Amino acid sequence: MGDTRDCERCGDAFEPQREHARFCSARCRVAWNREHTRGSWAGDSALGWAIAAMSDTTQRLGRIRAKDWPQAFAVIGEAVWSVTIVDATLVRYHAPVYDETLAARPAAERLLIEGTFGGLRFLRNQMGYHADHADFIQPGPRAGSSPVAAWTWRPAAEPALDALSLRGQEWEMSRYRDYQDHLAGHPVGETFHRAEAFLRQAAAAAGAAEATGATGATGASLPATR
């Protein structure tokens, strides 16, 4: 039997299909959103601040030419956190709009975007906790003169999973494979550019839906591991 958790609205136990799932059904999710978030779109609160912080951090990657590697590693780590915070906020509060924005992309691009976020979630969980930043980041041959955005992601060793539940192990291994397939060997700046472009589009769609009173009760929902 898989892991279960209690729905935050009705209290019924359910088996989550997503890492951050909080509700047993779309009905409960929509009802909770109506009760707790109506009239205050996250664009001028938590999500708005997160978007601004994300943009500021990712833009620094193109400006910094770090001879001090620890400083460069710290900026990249901050960018990972900023992007995954925005991603988690959209998944948590605007899941239907997030999925609809993703579904509108061509299939190959959609898989690339999903893989990019899976890899970034793996970095968020591992970098600085279970492994050092240097285990994931490969400075360029001219690290002192090239921007940090031109550095690349290193291939990573499989994570230790013994402390996780069976479902948690499945999710983390999925994220690990996404990292290996879509980040490892690619430039750091390329990863963040792709992630930020999608998150900005999804956030704009969430704001438009809130402004028009559309809460996302209907619409396509893609199966995804987050």
pLDDT digits (tens, 9 = 90+) for 51-92: 888 988 888 888 877 677 888 898 999 999 999 999 998 998
Closest CA to 11 of 2, 27, 24: 24
Residue 75 resides in a domain:
yes
- Decide if 186 is inside a domain: yes
Residues 4 and 89 in one domain: no
Q: Which of 41-45, 62-66, 80-84, 188-192 has the lowest mean pLDDT?
A: 41-45
- Regarding whether 90 and 27 lie in a shared domain, the answer is no
Instruction: Note whether 21 and 47 are same-domain residues.
Output: no
Whether residue 125 is contained in a domain is answered as yes
In a domain? residue 101: yes
Whether residue 67 is contained in a domain is answered as yes
Average pLDDT over the chain, rounded to an integer: 83
Is residue 87 in some structural domain? Answer: yes
Residues with Cβ within 8 Å of residue 225, at least 6 apart in sequence: 18, 19, 118, 170, 171, 174, 175
- Higher pLDDT, residue 225 or 144: 144
5 and 99 within one domain = no
Question: CA–CA distance from 179 to each of 88, 111, 124, 169, 208 (Å)?
Answer: 18, 13, 11, 15, 32
Q: Provide the number of structural domains found in the chain.
A: 2
Helix 188-211 to helix 107-126 angle (10° resolution) is: 110
Quick check: is 122 in a domain? Answer: yes
How far is Cα 203 from Cα 208, in angstroms, rounded to an integer?
9
Answer positive or negative: Cα dihedral of 144, 148, 150, 154: positive
Q: Are 127 and 28 members of one domain? A: no
222: number of Cβ within 10 Å: 11
Q: Which domain holds residue 185?
A: 38-211
The pTM assigned to this predicted structure is 0.76
